[in-house]
């Protein structure tokens, strides 16, 4: 990911250089207007993330932002919103649809940047019990449901049910989305000081490469 500062400064992150440049230009004009109207105003936003083209794997780049709990605005489509909502510790002040017309996008950015009392919209996180945490960490590390069943004494059907139940509650539909959501959720839980840690090789990029080997039904 690349970053660039605009007056405040605000870091703008994204892989699509055209979209990122456009948002950076919008921010520059918006902040100029805000600083002219309200000298000394300091927006609470630190970062703006521009997530485009449906590449869900780039969400892993947000791991450091979740760890640092930096207040941010995310601009993306509905799939990104589903994956980033209710991630513990992720200080998201606003999610803005990438499909909005420029005037509407500008208005929503200006609303957040001109406020001094914007709060984190991720105040609720999906609950996970100790069994789910243990199973999902193993799945994220590439352990198959059959191997997890032999280690835990749970049936493969139970493991499959726990996965499908989480996907239903998180409103996600694919295994790729499941692994990304679980990874971000576990990062958030760990950085919140719960004592839970990720498996040493809990890398979703490795797991996504083994998708065909994971015998989990949806």
Model confidence over 150-185: pLDDT tens digits?
A: 999 999 999 999 999 999 988 888 888 888 888 888
- The structure's pTM equals 0.77
Least confident of 15-24, 115-124, 179-188, 205-214: 205-214
Phi/psi of residue 3, each to 5°? -125, 155
Taking all residues of the chain, what is their mean pLDDT, rounded to a whole number? 78
Q: CA 24, CA 6: separation in Å to the nearest integer?
A: 7
Least confident of 27-36, 47-56, 190-199: 190-199
pLDDT at 218 over 60: no
Model confidence over 50-98: pLDDT tens digits?
A: 887 666 767 777 777 777 778 899 998 888 888 888 887 788 889 999 8
pLDDT at 73: 92
pLDDT at 149 over 90: yes
Q: CA 76, CA 74: separation in Å to the nearest integer?
A: 6
End-to-end CA, the chain? 32
**CB-based contact 214:138 (threshold 8 Å):** no
**CB-based contact 139:182 (threshold 8 Å):** yes
Distance of CA 21 to the CA centre of its chain: 21
Which residue, chain included where needed, has tokens 């990720």? 198
**CB-based contact 141:202 (threshold 8 Å):** yes
C-alpha distances in angstroms, 177 versus 60, 91, 103, 118, 212? 12, 20, 31, 28, 15
CATH class of the structural domain 5-113: alpha beta
Q: Which two tokens stand for residue 205?
A: 């990029």
- Give residue limits of the domains in the chain: 5-113, 130-213
In whole angstroms, how large is the CA radius of gyration of the chain?
A: 19
Treating both helix axes as pointing N-terminal to C-terminal, what angle do 156-170 and 175-191 enclose, rounded to 10 degrees? Answer: 80
Instruction: Give the Cα-Cα-Cα angle 188, 2, 90 (nearest 5 degrees).
Output: 15
């Amino acid at each position: 990911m690349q970053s660039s500062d605009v007056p405040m400064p605000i870091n703008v992150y994204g892989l699509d250089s055209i979209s990122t440049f456009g948002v950076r230009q919008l921010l520059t004009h918006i902040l100029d207007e805000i600083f002219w109207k309200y000298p000394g105003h300091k927006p609470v936003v630190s970062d703006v993330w521009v997530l485009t083209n449906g590449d869900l794997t780039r969400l892993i780049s947000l791991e450091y932002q979740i760890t640092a709990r930096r207040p941010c605005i995310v601009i993306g489509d509905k799939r990104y919103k589903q994956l980033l909502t209710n991630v513990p510790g992720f200080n998201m002040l606003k999610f803005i649809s990438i499909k909005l017309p420029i005037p509407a996008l500008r208005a929503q950015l200006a609303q957040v940047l001109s406020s001094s009392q914007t709060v984190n919209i991720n105040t609720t996180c999906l609950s996970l019990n100790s069994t789910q945490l243990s199973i999902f960490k193993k799945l994220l590390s590439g352990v198959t449901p059959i191997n997890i069943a032999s280690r835990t004494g749970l049936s493969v059907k139970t493991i499959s049910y726990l996965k499908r139940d989480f996907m239903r509650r998180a409103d996600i539909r694919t295994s790729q989305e499941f692994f990304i959501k679980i990874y971000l959720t576990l990062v958030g839980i760990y950085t919140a000081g719960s004592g839970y840690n990720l498996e040493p090789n809990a890398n979703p990029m490795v797991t996504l490469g083994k998708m065909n080997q994971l015998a989990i039904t949806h």
